[in-house]
Amino acid sequence: MNKEVRSLGRQGGRAVFAFTARSMQQVSTLLIALLAARFLTPAQYGVYSIGIVFLILVQTLTYTGFYQFILTSREDDRDVLSTCFWLIAGLVSAASLVLAIAAYPLEWLFDAAPLGRIIVLLALIQPLASIGAWSSAALLRRGAVMLNFTVMLVQNLIALIGGGLLLWFWHSIYALVAYRYLRVISGAVLFLLLGNDRPEMHFRRELARKATAFSGGLYGSRLLNFLSRYAADLLLGMLHSPAAVGLYRFGNRIATGATDIVNQPMANFAATQFGAAARQEIDLAEPLARLTGTVALLGGIVGATIIVFARDVIVLFFQPSYLPALAVTFAMALRGAAGAGQMMVEPAFAALGRTSWVMVFDLVTTAIAVAVIFATSPLGLGLLAWAQAAVVLGTTGWAFFLLRRRGHIRIRRAVRNFAGAIVLSTLYGVVLSAAYRAMDAGLALSRISTLGLGLVAASALALAVLALAIWLRVFSLRAFSG
């Protein structure tokens, strides 16, 4: 019994560290975005947000495709790592160059100075970011998981502290650009100093063709996913103003920034675990079930917490001009749990070597999402956001269908875990909301003291729900490996 307890404790400790390290980038990005919203107007924040949308388009090329080929390929390590380094670096450099050339035409299109200068500065640093992505994949491939986590944790702590100080003393969108530089440079230096992997002047054309064939569907899928997620920002910028983009992105950032603290690390865990299962010929139904339930429950808990506390947080810490973004925040808070099944499509089909189905999935979902955005963007921010949340929930059902029909993966346990997670996170939200309202009505405390007490109650309640979910086998600590 004692051995089992110690084993569970070690497993839990590793899970906490792994999740903390993986999520620190999202925590850093969220806190910096919130600090920026405190000092910048919606219009200023909107200009930077438009620039970041195009930067994300380049970043989609960094952590997919060739990156996942490194994780899943059974070829010789030296050949895979060296060839994929040059493929990643070349692709990201070319994309960064195209973005820099398009910077000032985009500024004219959106009528949003100094957007051109912001985009050029952001594009210049991206080739260096590709080196960090390659180093991370190389560490994961050879099993140096904890070292990879350590580098990521330190990198993002440096960026958070440095970026926070920059914004605190320099209320400018250029402070946000400097924060991006600090994160990329610190990561590259840390991987260089602590990692043992170095690129070589070695390039196998046959392997490069194989990696390109593997990656093509994934890159197409990510571009389509980018459109479905950021078309609203671009349309608001073109049809309305940078201020509208600022409000939408602020409301979106509060919700998705918080849920991405869960989703982005779990997406990385999923890519690694499905890749390992493929190399070891393990039934993919196992990682699918444990990851789906874990992602949905964590996303649901975070989303419910946001819905309960968002209004008081905006009133206490931000300019009143950001309150119209609250409807966006509520809608987007639900996407974290709703998209759990959708998140499994790419890593599962990549593990199966059938990446063309990822492209098919995202082609259908993007067409629907963009059509909904076109239809609802003139009708207000709230309706636009709720329509997108509904689309995400629908695409999770489509994801399960595709995984079963085309991936031939058993989905019964995954669907059961997804449903259980939704029920548990809804129960959590109802109880938390009732408790918070009771605190507000029954205790003679200031608003900020009540908020602090509510967050403590949320933490205790979340732990209780997670313990219940572990007992019900909806939530698994094994989902935090890799």
Q: Is the peptide bond before 114 cis (omega within 30 degrees of 0)?
A: yes
Closest CA to 399 of 375, 418, 423: 418
Taking the C-alpha atoms of residue 250 and residue 36, their distance in angstroms, rounded to an integer, is 10
Q: Residue 252: exposed, middle, or buried by beta-carbon count in 10 A (0-12, 13-18, 19+)?
A: buried
Q: Residue 182: exposed, middle, or buried by beta-carbon count in 10 A (0-12, 13-18, 19+)?
A: buried
Closest CA to 118 of 131, 109, 128, 106: 106
Residues 6+ apart with CB under 8 A from 174: 118, 121
String of DSSP letters for 168-216: HH--SHHHHHHHHHHHHHHHHHHHHHH------S---HHHHHHHHHHHH
Taking the C-alpha atoms of residue 414 and residue 343, their distance in angstroms, rounded to an integer, is 12
Identity of the residue numbered 152:
M
Question: What pLDDT does 5 receive?
Answer: 47
Question: What pLDDT does 78 receive?
Answer: 83
What single DSSP character describes residue 75? S
Question: What pLDDT does 10 receive?
Answer: 59
Question: Dihedral angle at the C-alpha atoms of 243, 163, 169, 104, nearest 10 degrees?
Answer: -40
DSSP H or E stretch at residue 56: helix 42-59
Taking the C-alpha atoms of residue 185 and residue 183, their distance in angstroms, rounded to an integer, is 6
Asked if residue 322 lies in contact with residue 243, where contact means CB atoms within 8 angstroms, the answer is no
Radius of gyration of the chain (CA): 22
Question: What pLDDT does 207 receive?
Answer: 86
Taking the C-alpha atoms of residue 185 and residue 286, their distance in angstroms, rounded to an integer, is 38
What single DSSP character describes residue 1? -
Main-chain phi, psi angles of 381, to 5 degrees: -65, -40
Q: Residue 288: exposed, middle, or buried by beta-carbon count in 10 A (0-12, 13-18, 19+)?
A: buried
Q: Output the CA torsion sign for 264, 265, 266, 272.
A: positive
Taking the C-alpha atoms of residue 103 and residue 138, their distance in angstroms, rounded to an integer, is 33
Alpha helix segments (H runs only) across 73-172? 77-110, 115-141, 145-169
Closest CA to 163 of 139, 183, 143, 191: 183
Question: What pLDDT does 462 receive?
Answer: 93
Taking the C-alpha atoms of residue 327 and residue 387, their distance in angstroms, rounded to an integer, is 12
Closest CA to 137 of 198, 203, 69: 69
CA atoms within 13 A on the CB side of 245: 27
Asked if residue 352 lies in contact with residue 385, where contact means CB atoms within 8 angstroms, the answer is no
Taking the C-alpha atoms of residue 344 and residue 41, their distance in angstroms, rounded to an integer, is 37
Distance of CA 377 to CAs 49, 52, 200, 245, Å?
Answer: 17, 20, 49, 11
Question: What pLDDT does 101 receive?
Answer: 93
Question: Dihedral angle at the C-alpha atoms of 275, 279, 11, 154, nearest 10 degrees?
Answer: -50
For each of the chain's 482 residues, which pLDDT tens digit applies? 455 445 545 555 666 776 677 677 777 777 787 787 777 777 777 788 778 888 887 887 777 778 878 887 878 878 888 888 888 888 889 989 999 999 899 888 877 778 889 999 999 988 888 888 888 888 888 777 778 778 888 888 888 899 889 888 888 889 888 998 998 898 888 888 887 777 777 788 888 888 888 877 777 777 777 776 676 666 666 666 556 666 676 777 677 767 777 777 787 788 778 877 877 778 888 889 989 999 899 989 988 998 888 888 877 777 666 777 777 788 878 877 788 888 888 888 888 888 788 878 878 887 887 788 778 777 777 777 788 788 888 888 889 998 998 888 999 999 999 999 999 999 999 999 999 989 888 777 788 888 889 989 999 999 999 999 999 999 988 887 65
Reading the block at residue 220, the tokens are 């197409």
Reading the block at residue 117, the tokens are 């200068």
Reading the block at residue 298, the tokens are 């964590």
Asked if residue 295 lies in contact with residue 263, where contact means CB atoms within 8 angstroms, the answer is yes
